[in-house]
Structure 1
Amino acid sequence: MPNQMLRSFRFQIKLRKSPAVESGSQAPNNSPSGTSLGDGGFQECSGLEVEMDIQDYQEGGRNDGVIRRAGRAKYSPLILKRGMFFGAGSEVNRELWEWIQSVVAGIRPISRYDGIIQVMDVGENIVATWVFDRGLPAKIRGPELNAKTGEIAIEELHIAHEGLRLVRI
């Protein structure tokens, strides 16, 4: 099968409530299926990256180099630009703003959301799916209100998370 380049694609984001984490549990949730915060569409998504912390170990008697070992993984925040989460019908989803406002207000425990990012080709076929775990709102920037444009979309949303996996390609 020849390599195909995706010349035109779109993607959707789904946020689902994370299950409560038990003390000492480190098992990732492989398919977010909790209460929905919303489904959304955005023009841009960045931050699908994992960086490994590489540790150098200087072994005694080995002068020609160092031993390198894998340390912890660091996940970049996801950055969603120019889009919206939708509620019932085509109404704007208020739950996203309420989630952020509850974090700012100090309401504890903080609700965490797992997410699914699905990339689709022009024929609506899903060609890749990323899943992230235990997302927190890190930053939100609303639109620049301008009577000429009438925009109400989210300009930028940053979501910090605890894990990222590519589950389908």
Structure 2
Amino acid sequence: MSYSSVDPGTTHRFRLVIDGVSVGEFTGCTGLACTVEVEEYPEGGRNDSMLYLPKRVKFPPLVLTRPLTQEAEKLSQWVMDSVNEARQQTGQVAALAPNGEVLAKWDLQSVMPVAWHGPRFDASGLGAAIEVLEIVHHGLFKAGTT
């Protein structure tokens, strides 16, 4: 299946790569966003408009979710290793087509995990056991630059 024949509406997997190593694939990803804080500056002599000067860009945490897989132990170990080593890591989130092709990707700088929630087990429930990873980062960047 070629890229042009992939229906973007069927994207349902996201791959997280940290420092070039895949941490796993996820079925949900929220937080790919940014907000620019602006300073309003009244333009002299004009009462009908304002100038908006950018001050700071904020990035919300990324929250990745997936049903329990055999990679659960690998993910929780990566979280603990990252916290214990306290080093700057680069990351990448890639949206995958059903055939595994990368539809889009976002490179992240200074990635750090801030929460991991293992699956909640409930024998009476019908839903899948879900694990959740929450990471923060210092922004998006183009590959090859920092």
Is the 8 Å Cα contact of residues 132 and 162 (structure 1) preserved in structure 2? yes
Equivalences for residues 1-169 of structure 1 within 5 A: 5-9=7-11, 10-16=13-19, 33=20, 36=21, 38-83=22-67, 92-93=73-74, 94-99=76-81, 102=84, 110-146=86-122, 155-165=131-141
Q: Which amino acid aligns with 1:98?
A: M
- Give the superposition deviation at 1:112: 2.8
More helix by share: 2
Show structure 1 runs of 5+ residues with no match.
17-32, 103-108
Normalised to the residue count of structure 1, the TM-score between the two structures is 0.65
Distance in 2, matches of 1:83 and 1:133, equals 26
Query: % of aligned pairs identical?
Result: 26
TM-score (norm 2): 0.73
Equivalent residues, number: 137
